[in-house]
């Protein structure tokens, strides 16, 4: 059956939910490992508690065409983020944390509502810190007839132990491979050890779902779709990321090299980040992606 979560028995899904909520008691849901009890509403780095917090939801037509097609990607923007990128374009959601706490039932209704609008998938934006809540809501949505694949749309600062619990739950992983230099990741996103954490996360994602596959209309069904946002002055260290993907994931990885960087939020405090990228910079990154056999 498709999507994969329909093959899990109720007992199997409940077991995953139980394990995920157990991790919240001494929170190690993401690599920050804050060790706070989120079930008692203690707050760690992400400032999230035990209930889902959502900023917006709607069919989205600005995502990759393989997710959008005619009816859009059913996107849910989860509030807060476990990174603090100084140039974040969604900083009101991720760092100012503008959003509404809702019940699990309401989150399930949102998923069903997006399905009823004809969306091709449920696109979970920044799901990492709220994945126990999302899977719990998923179990309620399945009872209400949800049958769309889930897209895990993440910054890739994810814990492998938690990702393992999402095997057979998520069909499409869409990580953003952001940096290959840990010092740069720490400076602009406060993400200690980002490169190693991202690499382990991508390997686990690919182990679960493989390369991206499509239906007869070219809509993504299952697999890994890697995004890479090019920053000015080669701050992303792109070539090292492409080399890793080619050598340790798959030369057939679907890769979207994005050129839409704009200096949002606090980026103007950093001269090296305070401009868009040039066409020359973008072409150089594309050239290095092609060198490693990337599909773009
Ligand atoms: S999910 Fe939040 S509280 Fe839990 S480890 Fe990550 S940042 Fe800390």
Is residue 232 within 8 Å of 238, Cβ to Cβ?
A: no
CA nearest ligand 1 atom 3, residue: 44
Which of 20, 26, 31, 32 should be mutated for ligand 1, with most atoms under 8 A from CB? 32
In tens digits, the chain (296 residues) has pLDDT values of 999 999 999 999 999 999 999 999 999 999 999 999 999 999 999 999 999 999 999 999 998 999 998 999 999 999 999 999 999 999 999 999 999 999 999 999 999 999 999 999 999 999 999 999 999 999 999 999 999 999 999 999 999 999 999 999 999 999 999 999 999 999 999 999 999 999 999 999 999 999 999 999 999 999 999 999 999 999 999 999 999 999 999 999 999 999 999 999 999 999 999 999 999 999 999 999 998 876 55
Ligand 1 atom nearest 24 alpha carbon: 4
> Which helix (DSSP H) or strand (DSSP E) does residue 13 occupy?
helix 10-24
Ligand 1 atom nearest 33 alpha carbon: 5
Ligand 1 atom nearest 27 alpha carbon: 4
> Is 129 touching ligand 1 by the criterion CB < 6 Å?
yes
Q: What CA–CA distance (Å, rounded) separates 67 from 256?
A: 13
Q: What is the whole-number distance in angstroms between the Cα of residue 11 and the centre of ligand 1?
A: 27
Is residue 201 within 8 Å of 178, Cβ to Cβ?
A: no
Alpha helices in the chain (DSSP H): 10-24, 65-68, 91-94, 104-116, 131-143, 160-164, 182-189, 194-209, 238-244, 279-291
Q: What is the whole-number distance in angstroms between the Cα of residue 228 and the centre of ligand 1?
A: 24
Q: What is the whole-number distance in angstroms between the Cα of residue 31 and the centre of ligand 1?
A: 8
CA nearest ligand 1 atom 5, residue: 33
Ligand 1 atom nearest 80 alpha carbon: 2
Q: What is the whole-number distance in angstroms between the Cα of residue 86 and the centre of ligand 1?
A: 19
For the entire predicted model, the pTM comes to 0.97
Q: What is the whole-number distance in angstroms between the Cα of residue 94 and the centre of ligand 1?
A: 13
Residue of 136, 156, 171 lying closest to 203 (CA atoms): 156
Rounded to 5 degrees, φ, ψ at 104 are -65, -40
């Amino acid at each position: 059956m498709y999507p994969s979560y329909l093959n899990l028995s109720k007992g199997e899904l409940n077991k995953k939910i139980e394990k995920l909520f157990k991790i919240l008691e001494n929170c190690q849901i993401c690599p920050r490992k804050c060790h706070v009890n989120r079930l008692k509403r203690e707050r760690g780095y992400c400032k999230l508690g035990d209930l889902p917090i959502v900023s917006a939801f709607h069919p989205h037509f600005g995502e990759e065409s393989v997710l959008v097609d005619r009816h859009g990607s059913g996107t849910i923007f989860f509030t807060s983020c476990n990174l603090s990128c100084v140039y974040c374009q969604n900083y009101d959601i991720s760092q100012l944390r503008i959003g509404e706490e809702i019940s699990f039932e309401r989150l399930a209704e949102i998923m069903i509502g997006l399905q009823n609008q004809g969306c091709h998938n449920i696109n979970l934006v920044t799901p990492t810190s709220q994945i126990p809540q999302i899977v719990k809501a998923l179990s309620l949505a399945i009872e209400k007839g949800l049958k769309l694949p889930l897209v895990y749309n993440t910054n890739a600062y994810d814990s492998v132990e938690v990702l393992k619990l999402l095997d057979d739950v998520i069909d499409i992983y869409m990580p953003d491979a952001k940096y290959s230099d840990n010092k740069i990741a720490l400076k602009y996103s406060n993400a200690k050890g980002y490169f190693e954490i991202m690499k382990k996360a991508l390997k686990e994602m690919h182990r679960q779902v493989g390369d991206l596959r499509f239906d007869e209309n070219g809509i993504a069904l299952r697999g890994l779709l890697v995004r890479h946002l090019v920053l000015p002055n080669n701050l992303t260290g792109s070539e090292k990321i492409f080399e890793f993907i080619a050598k340790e994931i798959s030369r057939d990885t679907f890769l979207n090299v994005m050129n839409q960087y704009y200096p949002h939020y606090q980026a103007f405090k950093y001269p090296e980040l305070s401009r868009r990228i040039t066409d020359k910079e973008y072409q150089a990154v594309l050239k290095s992606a092609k060198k490693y056999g990337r599909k773009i």
